[in-house]
Amino acid sequence: MQSTFRANPAGKPAPAVDTVAFMKSSDAILRRHDLRAFRHRLLRWFDRHSRQLPWRADLDPYHVWLSEIMLQQTRVSVVVERYPAFLDRFPDLKRLAAAQLAEVLAAWSGLGYYRRARALHATARQVVKQGGFPRTAEELAALPGIGRYTAAAIASIAFEQPCAVVDGNVERVLGRLFRIRGKQVWRVAEELLHTRRPGDFNQAMMELGATVCLPQAPRCNDCPVFGWCRTRGAGEARAGSRRHKRYIAYRWAVRDQAVFLVQRGDHKSLMPGMWELPQTRPGMGVPLLRLRHAITNTDYHVSVFGAKTANGSAGRWVKLAHVERLPLTGLTRKILLRSKLV
């Protein structure tokens, strides 16, 4: 079979793939020999250099699924911190399924994007009812909160199903390696997949993107597949996406070891049903506390002003000792922790 790309470990980046020819051709992206070498090099690097992450200790489907849902929109460092505590609270699927939604939301606090926690709870109940997790990506994708990427990740990591995973990291790595994009990325990811170790191979591709082939400054000198790369980081520095700035303020009323909190309405698109400090207008004098908080592409400049009373807000006084039992917004949790009262 004619190859469109060949390894060139010592020399300059390999010649450009003719994109039109690539699109029309059914040829493989790598010759069989190169493909074997590529897989071997990547897996050997992963076996030696992968990060020790708590959810990699075993391949229990509950652990794999939980970590994949947590990692969907949250940084690894935050998940490393929150995953063990969540697991302590809900050590298995049955305990999670039997819990009240409010308990699950409270344990999810700090991870953000609470729709995931609701879907997690719904999935736990459904999976317990049907007697365990399905094994294929198609069946997994039919469960709440599990899209194409997450289904492929769970199926390959927990059940060794030969399905490729393409997340943002893999898309960037393959885009740089072979100068491809769009649908080509999925096709090439499937072609490269090591069918006897699909879970490790997928994790290795994601790990490469997360630790070596970084978005702004790829560390090409440390890259295990440098020899196959067509770009080797050339021309990759891109301006980051535009960020927005917003100023918000909260009222902080504390009495008898209790803090006054309000609950966000169920109709809110962001964090419905979560508890937070009452909002107020910025510029109300000297704040007790100032902090920054980033959500997606917005940087919030937050001021917290002291208040003697609840001032007519519909909410309730919550004992500081019990406050973490409530599903708090990440920002309110941060303010309470900064205040050193919880």
Query: Which of the 8 DSSP states describes residue 339?
Result: H
* Residues in region 88-107 near ligand SF4 by CB under 6 A: none
Q: Does 212 contact ligand SF4 by CB under 6 A?
A: yes
Q: Does residue 223 interact with ligand SF4 by CB under 6 A?
A: yes
- Tell me the closest approach of the beta carbon of residue 241 to ligand SF4, in angstroms: 20
- Tokens in use for 275? 């508890």
Q: Which residues have a catalytic role annotated? A: 68
In the bound complex, what is the minimum distance in angstroms from residue 72's beta carbon to ligand SF4?
23
- For ligand SF4, which is the closer residue by CB, 182 or 235? 235
Q: Does 277 bind ligand SF4 (CB under 6 A)?
A: no
- Of 107 and 173, nearer to ligand SF4 (C-beta) is 173
**Using the rule CB under 6 A, which residue among 118, 148, 179, 232 binds ligand SF4?**
232
Is residue 227 at the binding interface for ligand SF4, with CB under 6 A as the rule? Answer: no
Question: Closer to ligand SF4 at the Cβ: 144 or 215?
Answer: 215
Distances from the Cα of 27 to the Cα of 8, 190, 227, 231, angstroms: 19, 14, 20, 21
Residue with tokens 């069918």: 195
Query: Which residue in the block uniquely carries the two structure tokens 């109300």?
Result: 284
State in angstroms the smallest separation of the CB of 260 from ligand SF4.
51
Tokens of 158: 């927990």
Pick 176 or 194: Cβ nearer ligand SF4: 176
Q: Which of 66, 71, 213, 336 binds ligand SF4 (CB under 6 A)?
A: 213
What would you measure as the largest C-alpha separation in the chain, in angstroms? 78
C-beta of residue 263 within 8 angstroms of C-beta of residue 273: yes
Q: Where are the alpha helices (DSSP H) in the chain?
A: 19-24, 32-49, 61-71, 76-89, 93-98, 101-108, 115-129, 137-140, 148-159, 168-178, 183-192, 198-211, 330-339
> Looking at 90-98, 155-163, 189-197, 215-223, which segment touches ligand SF4 (CB under 6 A)?
215-223
- How many CB atoms are located within 10 Å of the residue 208 CB? 26
Please report where in the chains the tokens 């893999």 appear, as a residue: 170
- The dihedral sign for the CA sequence 59, 61, 66, 67: positive
Question: 233 with 220: CB under 8 angstroms?
Answer: yes
Binding status of residue 110 toward ligand SF4 by CB under 6 A: no
By CB under 6 A, name the one of 28, 43, 101, 220 that touches ligand SF4.
220
x/- binding map, residues 169-188, to ligand SF4, per CB under 6 A?
Answer: ----x--xx-----------
Smaller CB separation from ligand SF4, 38 or 108 = 38
- Provide, rounded to whole angstroms, the least separation between the CB of residue 176 and ligand SF4: 4
Q: Tell me which residue has tokens 């400054």.
A: 217
Question: What are the tokens at 188?
Answer: 């090439």
In the complex, the residues that contact ligand SF4 under the rule CB under 6 A are: 173, 176-177, 212-213, 218-220, 223, 225-226, 229, 231-233
